[in-house]
Chains A and B, each alone.
Chain A
Amino acid sequence: LAKTTQPISMDSYEGQEVNITCSHNNIATNDYITWYQQFPSQGPRFIIQGYKTKVTNEVASLFIPADRKSSTLSLPRVSLSDTAVYYCLVGTKGGTGRRALTFGSGTRLQVQP
């Protein structure tokens, strides 16, 4: 599985846009990039998944450059409730006999009022 590197922590203020970048230099051709959010004492929650270019849903956007060696999760206008740990995961999807996604240390986002 491709190794991922993310900042350990980030601080922001309410109403700002937050961009969290993840490096995955050895991403494989068939790998997808997936982001999860985790609040204290809760299970991780899926945010977004993409393969290339840009993916947007009601919660976030995911930007993936052409070389796919990094990706950026963009959270528009964060609120206090967005304070959480954000994980970037890389791996194949679908099929059988492949490896399940593994979590790294994540980025702890603290949103201040």
Chain B
Amino acid sequence: EPEVTQTPSHQVTQMGQEVILRCVPISNHLYFYWYRQILGQKVEFLVSFYNNEISEKSEIFDDQFSVERPDGSNFTLKIRSTKLEDSAMYFCASSDQLNTEAFFGQGTRLTVV
């Protein structure tokens, strides 16, 4: 079965530092997403990406966040200056069309200290 891979699985960073979370979506998919889940809470939508640009972003996705598809395979989420409240599990997902079956990665657990 095809899978979305995310690295690292766990990242610890100091408040104020920049972090880059990496994802390799499924190769023939066109839509890419980032979601996050704070421990014990629901999965929250951050951003969707299509045709090399942001398709939609939520209120959470402020100026501290950015996404990039630097090459044909990777999809990254950058947080410029991390805050304690950014601590969460971040999930990358991809789908062939908007809102068709999305495949999620195993997530990156970000801990900001």
Residues of chain A with a CB closer than 8 A to B102's CB = 44, 46, 101
Contact residue range for chain B? 20 to 34
Complex contact A91–B99 (CB within 8 A)? yes
Complex contact A87–B43 (CB within 8 A)? yes
A87 to B44, CA, bound (A): 12
Complex contact A42–B106 (CB within 8 A)? yes
Among the interface residues A46, A95, A96, A101, which one has the most CB atoms of the partner chain B within 10 A?
A101
A96 to B50, CA, bound (A): 8
Residues of chain B with a CB closer than 8 A to A91's CB = 99
Complex contact A103–B99 (CB within 8 A)? no
Complex contact B103–A46 (CB within 8 A)? yes
- Residue interface mask A7-21, B partner, CB < 8 A = 1: 000000000000000
A18 to B106, CA, bound (A): 26
Known: A44-B93, A92-B99, A96-B98. 9 other contacts (CB 8 A): A41-B89, A43-B93, A43-B106, A43-B107, A46-B102, A49-B101, A94-B99, A98-B98, A101-B45
Complex contact A100–B42 (CB within 8 A)? no
A46 to B43, CA, bound (A): 14
Q: In the assembled complex, how far is the CB of residue A95 from the closest CB belonging to chain B, in whole angstroms? A: 6
Q: In the assembled complex, how far is the CB of residue A2 from the closest CB belonging to chain B, in whole angstroms? A: 13
- Residue interface mask A82-95, B partner, CB < 8 A = 1: 00000100011111
Complex contact B106–A94 (CB within 8 A)? no
Complex contact B99–A101 (CB within 8 A)? yes
